[in-house]
Each structure stands twice: as structure tokens, then as C-alpha cells.
Amino acid sequence: MRTFIAIPLPQEIKAFLAELQNELKTSGAEVKWVEPENIHLTLKFLGERDDKKIKEISNILEEAVKNKKQFLARLSTLGAFPKITSPRVIWVGIDRGDEETKLIAAELEEKISRTGIPKEEKAFSSHITIARTKSSKNIAELIKGLNVCADKLGEEKAEFPVRQIVLYKSTLTPKGPIYQALKEVNLKTI
């Protein structure tokens, strides 16, 4: 099964990000938007894994997270990979909570690599993917929208508590992926 580990987002943050998506949609660009209910912060993409490996990863997740404390995260920037002037993946970054997120991701990366799953080649970046471009149609309008929304995002200071880390199963369908929690591990209360 196709799997990943992520930080789930509260409904109010998903709603805020959906509003941001709606503003960007006015550009008319050809973009595949992440469904608001599926928006999350990925810590580690695991790819296709069998039940035995899933059990092993579940145990690693529990071990890696059990002594970590809950923390606050804050949306900070709007950006794109490879860069905002040629967007392929549109994302929202975090500033507050970035250090904690990176520490958890690094620990998961290290422990999971011992199971034979290779480490990521690129350094981890705390970001929430909200869209992927499908073509260059109306890309100039999209870039203008990204810059306008980036300024707005900086003023909002949308914060949210990070209370758990989840191992998800992703089932790909013609209407988009369906995510199912396989393992939820709560962070310690402060």
C-alpha cells in the first residue's frame, strides 16, 4: 500500500488554506489543487509498502514520537518549487514550529532508513503542498496571485497546535487520493 507520515491540520487551518486556493484559482491557471480535507504537512513519503513493513514503521513512529511534546506551528510564507517565478508545486511554509518539525522528520528519516527505505536526497523543508501546476497556461497570472497571497499570508499569522503524527495509507482514485489513518501517535501534552 502507498503510505506516508504527516502532521494532520485542524479544520480551521484547512479552511484558511482553501480560501487561499480560491484566491489563486482566479488566475485561470491549469492547476491540480489539493482537496482541502487532504491538506497536511508531510514528514516522510514512504511509497508502496507491505503489511510487514507498515508494522515496522508504525513501531518506529511510536518510538520516535512518544517523548516529543506538543508545539505550536504558524503558517508563514507562500512559495513554489523550484521557485516562485516557475511554480511546479505551490506550498505554504511554517516559521514557528519549523525547528520541531525538522527534528521529528530527521529522527523518522534516520530510523526508517535502517529498515532499508532510502533517505530522501533533498533536505527536509517544512511545507504544506496546496497545488501542483499542470501546464504553463496563465502562469503569469498565477505568479501575480502568489505574490499577492504571500503578502496576505504574512499578515494573518495563522497558528495551530501540533498534537499528533499520523501514518497514512493513500489510495489513488480517478477523483483524487483517499487518505486513511493507519497509526496515530499523540505528542505529550505540555
Where is 185: in which H helix or E strand?
Answer: strand 178-186
Cell numbers standing for residue 62 = 511510536
Cell numbers standing for residue 146 = 502568489
CA 122 from centre of chain = 15
Complete DSSP assignment for 24-53: HHTT---EEEPPGGG-EEEEEEEEE--HHH
E strand segments, 84-120:
86-94
Q: Which residues are designated catalytic?
A: 40, 127
Cell numbers standing for residue 4 = 506516508
Whether 33 contacts 21, CB under 8 Å: yes
CA dihedral 37, 39, 43, 46 (to 10 degrees): 70
